Every structure is written in C-alpha cells, then in structure tokens.
Amino acid sequence: MELIYKLLGVATAAAEEAAGTADAAAAELTGGQMLIGTLLQLSPILIMVLIMYFLMIRPERKRRKKEKAMLDALKRGDRICTIGGIYGTIMDIKDDTITLSVGRDNLSMVVARWSIRSVEDVTIENESESLN
C-alpha cells in the first residue's frame, strides 16, 4: 500500500511540475504574441464590420452625395419629378422652397427642395409643344 502512495505522490508531483512549467511558458509570452492572439480572436468581428461598410454604408454615402449634388444644381427652367410623382418646371428657387409650374394651365405649386426626386431629361420634338 505504501508503494502505491509513493507512486501516486511521485505522479502528483510530476503533474504539478508540468503545470508549473506551462504557467511559466504562458507568462513568458511577449506583448506582440498576446496582441496577435487578441487580433486573431477579434478578426471575425473586424471582417463583418468591413463587409457591412462596403455593402451598406459606402453605397448609401455615395447615393446621398449624388442626391445632394443634384439638389444643389437645380436651376430655373429644369423639368423635375417630385417624390409624389408630380412633374413640373421650376419657376423660382428660394432657400428650401421651389415654385413649380404644373400642368397645361401653368398652375403654380410650392414644394420643398428635399421633395425633388429627379431632374428629367426632356427632348423637344415639336417646338410648338409645351413642356408643362
């Protein structure tokens, strides 16, 4: 029986010594190795953020920039379409409001600048034909 305890004691001591060397090896990791380990753990999250940026955020910024340029370039006489589907010709532009001429009777309509969806490219086939 004593022999078994001696053997178990030796095995326990060897196991404790092996654990001590593993802790010492972990303690000897340099800052660079720890940084690499942290980056490897965070890499899936970083990749997802990059994918979200290129698929969602960047195209939205481009669209907004293009829309702002279109609204800033509006001028008198442009044929436009509003977000409500009303087609008209710009008669007057003030800060944030635009006066449109709409329909055959040239009715005057005031709309907000942000409500302009697009500037229409109009080609005149007959000079006698009215754009309104």
Strands 107-112 and 116-119: unpaired
pLDDT digits (tens), the chain, 132 positions: 555 555 455 555 555 665 555 455 555 667 778 888 888 899 999 999 999 999 999 999 999 999 999 999 999 999 999 999 999 999 999 989 999 999 889 899 999 999 999 999 875 444 445 555
Residues facing 109 on adjacent strands: 100
CATH fold group of domain 75-119: SH3 type barrels. (2.30.30)
In whole angstroms, how far apart are CA 86 and each of 11, 32, 76, 125?
88, 63, 17, 22
Neighbours of 100 (CB within 10 A): 24
Kindly report the pTM of this predicted structure: 0.58
